[in-house]
Structure 1
């Protein structure tokens, strides 16, 4: 596809066709706009036109960077969705509080709506589904390792269900985000650390050894 006759670039954009380097600020604006559009409207209404309007750039400028909207969304998610880090503080309570904190931050952060949308709609987007599957797998392995180490150390009762414990914590974080009205997200977001502690203590109450 040729863009030789594209309309003039918007403010701050760079003419990549002429051999000049891409402007990273335009990339950031487009990826931020893509996360906002996807988070608000979902895949069914996610279009390059909508992203271009939100970012304040020409549509041709987006196509110079990404060949289609699927690749644009994939790049957006890779740039803005943070994987769960491997956590091993030596304390299952602290490990799980940090895990819950990471999950809550991803759900309430600037790209929180895109993250929750992604959990529900990734399978509908072939170019994105495989990348999301890999991300989920790495997160599951990191989370399950926390619980298994705690059982081995004797912090949790033998036979503790890894799946149920993590479902309770991760599900609690997701439900907290989904149940929070838009007009309260800012206020609720200020108390995420306290909520992570309360959630973990509540869940651990039934499985802590001794």
Structure 2
């Protein structure tokens, strides 16, 4: 078999860069990571990064999204006939998937406080799809819910997870059970 030469496929290169960004972000923290560090770790030139992402912020947002896509796009499954068990299961799955990237997500959110462009990236690429996914799951539990109220509840759930990260609290089973105990009656009653 002949060895292929030339540039690596675009997707592989993108993932290598984003994985390097996440690894460095976990090790050093969001603020400490530079584009040059990511380029060195991914063994590419800085221009390879800047051709794909116009800024560190956009690169880090895509890196977080790549690793948070499990949280944002997870297909929550029904575990039982019990709405509370299903909702708690969804919360536990979200908590588990946030796992390693929780601290990095926290630092990203803190940095976004003073950077409107970063806020917009977070809202568009992470928060909005995540909230839509939660809404879809909740709609499956009670399809008669008003869509605007459902969206509000999903936003509150996503915000509660982010608040827990920001104040350094565990996203453990006890947290998920407490949140499910509050949310479930609202979903079943229709607010």
Q: Fold conserved (TM > 0.5)?
A: yes
TM-superposed CA distance for 1:146, in Å, is 2.8
Query: Any gaps of 5 or more consecutive residues in structure 1?
Result: 1-17, 182-187
Are 1:114 and 2:104 matched, yes or no?
A: yes
TM-superposed CA distance for 1:19, in Å, is 2.5
Asked if 1 retains the 8 angstrom alpha-carbon contact of 2:131 and 2:158, the reply is no
CA distance in 2, matches of 1:48, 1:160: 40
Correspondence 1:6-45 to 2 at 5 A: 19=6, 21=8, 30-38=17-25, 40-42=29-31
Asked if 1 retains the 8 angstrom alpha-carbon contact of 2:30 and 2:107, the reply is no
Structure holding more helix per residue: 2
TM-superposed CA distance for 1:102, in Å, is 3.6
TM-superposed CA distance for 1:72, in Å, is 3.8
TM-score for both structures, normalised by structure 1: 0.56
Query: Any gaps of 5 or more consecutive residues in structure 2?
Result: none
CA distance in 2, matches of 1:204, 1:100: 12
CA distance in 1, matches of 2:116, 2:179: 29
Are 1:139 and 2:126 matched, yes or no?
A: no
Asked if 1 retains the 8 angstrom alpha-carbon contact of 2:142 and 2:187, the reply is no
The structure with the largest alpha-carbon Rg is: 1
| Alpha-carbon RMSD | 4.3
**Which residue of the other structure, out of 87, 102, 110, is the alignment partner of 2:76?**
87
Partner of 2:129, secondary structure, is helix
CA distance in 2, matches of 1:206, 1:72: 38
